[in-house]
Amino acid sequence: MPNQATTPIYILSGFLGSGKTTFLQRLVNHWQEQGLRPAVIMNEIGDVNLDGLLVEERVPMTEMLSGCICCSIRGDLSVEMAGLIEREHPDVIVVEATGIANPMEILDGVTEAALYMKIDLKGVLTVVDSAHLLELYREQKGKTFRLMQEQIRAASCLILNKTDRVTAGEREELESVISRWNGYAPILPAVRCEVDVAEVLASLGGKTGLPESDKPDGAASTGLEAEDEEHHSHSAAGHHHAHHDHVMVYTHYLRGPVDSGEFERFVAGMPREVYRAKGVLTFSDTASRFLFQYAFREPDFLRITPQGDVPDVVVFIGEHFSKTAIENGMRALEGQEGRS
Ligand SMILES: Nc1nc2c(ncn2[C@@H]2O[C@H](COP(=O)(O)OP(=O)(O)OP(=O)(O)O)[C@@H](O)[C@H]2O)c(=O)[nH]1
């Protein structure tokens, strides 16, 4: 067997809708500009991968759907990683975690894989939604808040994203809060993850976090343990994932085009418990199809021409919301179309 090169691995973490895919695109462009061949492992809790539509077709990508690599399908991570390396020989791999993933569990998963694969975990990049974190920080409670804290603590580098949605004073407040939780990772404020990617990658030199002797093999410094004053159940076996128990996903396949205005009104009236949605839609009153995004109450529509056979579908993610109410609402939109 030829002496295979070591593949650098980056974990991309951050709560649902914080901007991970936005940053992924920047990372991929950066490496491509340097003549490197990046590959992506994309994990979604839903059963369709819409983020994949935003990544260039020539980038090798493995999709891990309908589960979270930090728990239910964690064992598959090393299998997928080995397959990707063997098939595509990438120069670098990014693992985009689901927004509800606990990064320490993914670190464990990658570390397990490092036992029988030549990989080098470079670090955890965590993207933070400024406005969302600020709201939860003010409330000081909830599983989402705790999960965001864990994702921040586990980071080797932090992108404080969506600063367009907070004031300068709030941004400073967030920076000081975040640096209390993780005093090691550099914090880079950004809009649409516009940061100097070279600076981000250079910051992962492994100077932060744990002393070398305490690190698991192949694992980069994370800063988590040093700051970790809460109890976390991170043992490899028998752990309980409180974070996931409350998260629900509803996938709605549309029967046909809907009116764009009606759809926007429906989205504006969705319960707060739906905190993330994304989909591909055909509107009866526009010529093209759209990629729909909804993160922390902010909708976004991007004109797209999907390659291949992509159905009209919307995935709703949140906690304790009525799937039936969402389904009925969507069906009513489809029905209105049918009547016109
Ligand atoms: N206002 C604002 N919106 C942003 C910013 N960055 C990203 N977005 C939007 O936020 C939405 C979610 O961005 P993504 O990059 O898909 O987030 P994600 O973390 O990959 O989402 P999940 O994969 O569902 O967890 C999209 O509509 C983006 O266009 C920003 O800095 N400001």
Instruction: Indicate the number of domains in the chain.
Output: 2
What pLDDT score does 336 carry? 66
Q: Looking at residues 153-181, what average pLDDT do you find?
A: 97
The answer to whether position 1 is within a domain reads no
- Residues 135-153 have pLDDT tens digits of 999 998 888 899 999 999 9
Has residue 214 got a pLDDT over 50?
no
Ligand 1 pocket test target in 15, 22, 23 with most atoms within 8 Å of CB: 22
What pLDDT score does 215 carry? 40
- Residue 209: pLDDT band by 50, 70, 90 thresholds? very low
* 189 shares its domain with 210: yes
The residue from 204, 223, 243 where one domain ends is 243
Ligand 1 pocket test target in 21, 25, 315 with most atoms within 8 Å of CB: 21
Has residue 222 got a pLDDT over 70?
no
- Residues 176-208 have pLDDT tens digits of 999 999 999 999 999 999 999 999 999 886 433
What pLDDT score does 306 carry? 79
Residue ranges making up the domain that contains 255: 246-339
Q: Ligand 1: which residues within 6 Å by Cβ? A: 14, 16-22, 51, 99, 161-162, 164-165, 191-193, 276, 293, 295, 298, 300
Has residue 325 got a pLDDT over 80?
yes
Question: Whose Cα sits closest to atom 32 in ligand 1?
Answer: 162
The beta-carbon contacts of 286-292 under 8 Å, at least 24 apart in sequence, are 286/260, 291/50, 291/53, 291/54
Mapped onto helix, strand or coil, the DSSP state of residue 221 is coil
What pLDDT score does 11 carry? 92
- Residues 58-100 have pLDDT tens digits of 899 888 877 777 776 667 888 889 899 999 999 999 999 888 8
CB atoms within 10 A of CB 333: 20
Closest CA to 153 of 233, 209, 94: 209
Q: Looking at residues 278-296, what average pLDDT do you find?
A: 92
The residue from 191, 221, 243 where one domain ends is 243
Question: Whose Cα sits closest to atom 21 in ligand 1?
Answer: 17
Rounded to 10°, the helix 323-339/260-268 angle is 160
Ligand 1 pocket test target in 293, 297, 314 with most atoms within 8 Å of CB: 293
What pLDDT score does 277 carry? 94
Q: Looking at residues 258-276, what average pLDDT do you find?
A: 94
The residue from 193, 218, 243 where one domain ends is 243
Has residue 219 got a pLDDT over 90?
no
ipTM of predicted complex: 0.98
CB 145 within 8 A of CB 139: yes
The answer to whether position 194 is within a domain reads yes
Q: How far is the CA of 277 from the centre of ligand 1 (A)?
A: 11
Residue 63: which CATH number? 3.40.50.300
